[in-house]
Structure 1
Amino acid sequence: MARVLIAEDDEPVRIFVRRALEIDGHVVVETRDGAEALELLERENGAFDLLLTDIRMPLMDGIALALAAAPQFPNLIILLMTGYADQRERAHGLDALIHDVVTKPFSLADIRAKVAEALAAGPKRPG
């Protein structure tokens, strides 16, 4: 199974997503914002298969995180999450970097399926 990094500032959502992905046997590491996630990625030399990040977060949002992480870790699959239509629009220019944007709220089955689909598709920017 995959090693997944979650960047999500909303603790209940973070816990829900972690539990959903652990059902499928993924190893999940949680961070509370983009800055913390980027620091962890750099410290672990990108040793994750998938980055699942909220777009709207304090310190560093998910789009800034994707823009910083993608060039450094080309094999990292990036999946964004948002509950805001305007944030989803901001992500449209990132098609070459990200796999998809998952709209909140989502069900347990929805997030599991989106992650499985992203992992099956592989990275957008093979390194």
Structure 2
Amino acid sequence: MARVLIADDEESMRVMVARAIALDGHDIVTAQDGAEALEILNDKGAFDLLLTDIKMPIMDGIALALAAAQQFPGLTIVLMTGFADQRERASGLDAIVSDVIRKPFSVAEIRAAVAKALAGRS
């Protein structure tokens, strides 16, 4: 299955998403902010999917997506947000972001979004 890196500053959301995606057999690594996620990408590399919240301290998900896309051009990126203004910020990133998922979402919805993103990998 796929290696998925999840970045979200809310522990309960990180744990829920990790458990949901693990149900499909994916190898999961988590980070509590964008800076930690970028460090993990640089140290461990070879992820199939980056699933990141947009609004996080230290480095937000958009800055993370831009850095990750530049350093790892084959990485599929999916953003998550509960804020309409953050969705608007992400709208110009169509070239590097596979999808933007609106919070709150159900376990079934996040699993479907991840499956769709991974299926769309070239």
TM bucket (normalised to shorter chain) is over 0.9
- Cα RMSD over matched residues? 0.7
Task: Tell me how far apart the structure 1 counterparts of residues 117 and 71 of structure 2 sit (CA, whole Å).
Answer: 19
**Which residue is equivalent to 1:3?**
3
In structure 1, the residue corresponding to 2:68 is in which secondary structure?
A: helix
Partner of 2:118: 119
Which amino acid is the alignment partner of residue 35 of structure 2? Answer: A
User: What do the CA deviations read for 1:61-100 (whole angstroms, capped 9, x no partner)?
Assistant: 0000001110110110000000000000000010000001
C-alpha displacement at 1:21, in angstroms? 0.4
Matched residues, number: 122
Match of 2:90 in 1: 91
Kindly report which structure 2 residues correspond to 1:23-62, keeping only aligned pairs within 5 A, or say none. 23-44=23-44, 46-62=45-61
C-alpha separation in 1, matches of 2:116 and 2:9: 24
Q: Tell me the TM-score normalized by structure 2.
A: 0.98
Q: Deviating runs (4+, > 3 A) in structure 1?
A: none
Structure 1 unaligned residues grouped into runs of 5+:
none
SS at match of 1:74: coil
Unaligned segments of structure 2, at least 5 residues? none
The amino acid that maps onto 1:77 is T
Measure, in 2, the Cα distance between the counterparts of 1:84 and 1:104.
Answer: 8
Match for 1:70: what amino acid?
Answer: A
Counterpart check, 1:102 vs 2:110: no
Output one character per residue of 1:30-63: Cα deviation in whole Å (capped at 9) or x when no partner: 000000000110112x310000000000000000
| One-letter code aligned to 2:16 | F
Aligned with 1:75: secondary structure? coil
Measure the CA separation in 2 of the matches of 1:95 and 1:73. Answer: 16
**Secondary structure at the counterpart of residue 47 of structure 2:** coil
What's 1:22 paired with?
22
